[in-house]
Amino acid sequence: MAPVSRLLIISAWCAGLLALSLPHSAQAQDARLASPVDDLVCPHAAPAPKAVTTHPAASVSMAGNQMPSDAELGPLVRTTVREQPALDPQAIAGFAIGNGTPRRMAFWGDSHIAGGPFMPTLISVLRDKGLSVAPRFLPPTMGRANVNLPGLRAYCIGSDWNTDIAYTSPNPIDIGPALVNRVAVAGPESYLWLDLRDASRQPDVQQVQVVYNAPSGATIDYAIDNGALHSASLTSGGTSQTLTVRSDRPISTLKLRVSQGKLVLYGFVLDPVQPPAVTFDVFGLPSATVKGWANANPQLIAQALHGVSYDGVVLEYGTNEGADPDFDRDKYAALLSKALTNMRTVFPSASCVLVGPPDRGVLRQGKGAPLPLLAYSRVHQQIENTQREVGSRFGCVAWSWQGLMGGQGGSYGWAHAQPSLMGRDLIHLSPDGYRRTGRALAKSLGWTP
């Protein structure tokens, strides 16, 4: 923890409204009781967005989406699921589970991991083995479209929050571990409320560290569990700092608002009542590319983690790079090399897996000559091959998502599966497709037979 970190003991708060503080209990057996704290009700009477979807989504219908005809596809209409080989156990030792050693894992990537059931499937595999799983570093991406955050039951966020994103920056940028910063200047819409309970409304977070930078100093008002409002002055500094919020019982909700100055939010370190067997952090952002890691300042990321480290890291990128009509393999290799150099500066000894892009198809729509059926498939194959070659120089092993789908053109066969394994855009997968992928990756990681 940074020397300027502050420790505040808070009872509770209800953002500007009077509410009764709930009695605290010192008995350990009460820690897992469902919390009596009310669910979040966002300002302006808006319902609190749900951060995690636990119900299976409906099957995807491909009717009417201008799929290439069966005659045009020929043998590509056949669905192929090609199980990928187990990854070298020595190369991925940081992902080994079941030996009683706690594991810490983190996944960075694009929309494939940001939303939907891919990451929840991996978490379910671990929990089905009797392992406790919980996040450690919660990224500040609540409120971003199509982002689900494991460990966050619900949230409310005001309109004053802006976003700095590493992969869209034209230049290197000081950015937090999520490769995204959230920035707010004091105002009525600078609030951020978090419900940290699990799906059963059980609180299991004992302490929250707010990781931030206040360039010219700032003040925030905040509290927990619908109780008394507290204020804290945040000193300015060139590096990230932490504000530690504690309670004498597990925390259900945390509400904060920037009341003076400007706050740059890097995320939240969650300290659970009982450390989990597996720490599982997800840093997914729709449309992201590996340029985010290439643009990041690794020294700041390492400092902003404030002691959080990982035994295994996964980088899942390539789909958005493959959409570039002027894709250049040599330029991509240089970009990937820079990204992995930065990643290794932060995590020099972590096991590393590069998950390549899934196969992508071509819809028959719009004006002009249609693209060849394998236009994107061929580029995705180049990206995967480059990840394998460059990654090996940084101690990273590659996992072929396209190979799981049968290779080039596999997206069409997955679209014809019953139920469909592809989304209607032939870019993303269906919920069933993501679940199938999650189970396959878990098997390659050695988590299932």
If DSSP states are collapsed to H, E and C, what string results for the chain? CCCCCEEEECCCECCCCCCCCCCCCCCHHHHHCCCCCCCCECHHHCECCECCCCCCCCCCCCCCCCCCCHHHHHHHHCCCCCCCCCCCCCCCHHHCCCCCCCEEEEEEECHHHHCCCHHHHHHHHHHHCCCCEECCEECCCCCCCCCCCCCCCEEEECCCCEEEECCCCCCCECCCCCCEEEEEECCCCCEEEEECCCCCCCCCEEEEEEEEECCCCEEEEEEEECCCCEEEEECCCCCCEEEEEEEEEEECEEEEEEEEEEEEEEEEEEEECCCCCEEEEEEECCCCCCHHHHHECHHHHHHHCCCCCCCEEEEECCCCHHHCCCCCHHHHHHHHHHHHHHHHHHCCCCEEEEECCCCCCCCCCCCCCCCCCCHHHHHHHHHHHHHHHHHHCCCEEEECHHHHCCCCCHHHHHHCCCCCCECCCCCCECHHHHHHHHHHHHHHCCCCC
Find out whether 134 and 270 touch, Cβ atoms under 8 Å.
yes
Segment 244-262 shows an average pLDDT of 95
Segment 90-104 shows an average pLDDT of 95
pLDDT of 86 above 80 = yes
- d(Cα 296, Cα 39) in Å, to the nearest integer? 36
Cis bond before residue 419 (omega within 30° of 0): yes
Segment 289-307 shows an average pLDDT of 97
Any residues with CB less than 8 A from the CB of 49 and at least 6 apart, and which?
A: 42, 142, 143, 154, 155, 156
What pLDDT shows up at residue 368?
Answer: 63
What pLDDT shows up at residue 46?
Answer: 62
**Which segment of 31-35, 184-188, 189-193, 312-316 scores lowest on mean pLDDT?**
31-35
pLDDT digits (tens, 9 = 90+) for 199-232: 899 999 999 999 999 999 999 999 899 889 999 9
Nearest to 219 by CA among 262, 269, 164, 166: 262
Half-sphere exposure of 295 (CA within 13 A, CB side): 21
pLDDT digits (tens, 9 = 90+) for 332-383: 999 999 999 999 999 999 999 999 999 999 998 766 678 999 999 999 999 9
- Tell whether pTM > 0.85: yes
**Which segment of 36-45, 103-112, 147-156, 293-302 scores lowest on mean pLDDT?**
36-45
Domains observed in the chain: 6-15+34-43+72-444 (3.40.50.1110)
pLDDT of 406 above 90 = yes
- Angle between helix 431-444 and helix 118-128 axes, rounded to 10 deg: 50
User: What's at 193, amino acid-wise?
Assistant: W
Find out whether 76 and 373 touch, Cβ atoms under 8 Å.
yes
| CA distance readout (Å), 110 to 99, 170, 220, 250, 314 | 31, 19, 31, 32, 12
Nearest to 354 by CA among 341, 371, 372, 340: 340
| CA distance readout (Å), 86 to 83, 238, 398 | 9, 44, 11
pLDDT band at 304 (very low <50, low <70, confident <90, very high): very high
| CA distance readout (Å), 128 to 274, 276, 320 | 19, 14, 33
- d(Cα 95, Cα 423) in Å, to the nearest integer? 30
Buried/exposed 231-241: b ≥16 CB within 10 Å, e otherwise? ebebeeeeebb
CA 284 to chain CA centroid, nearest Å: 3
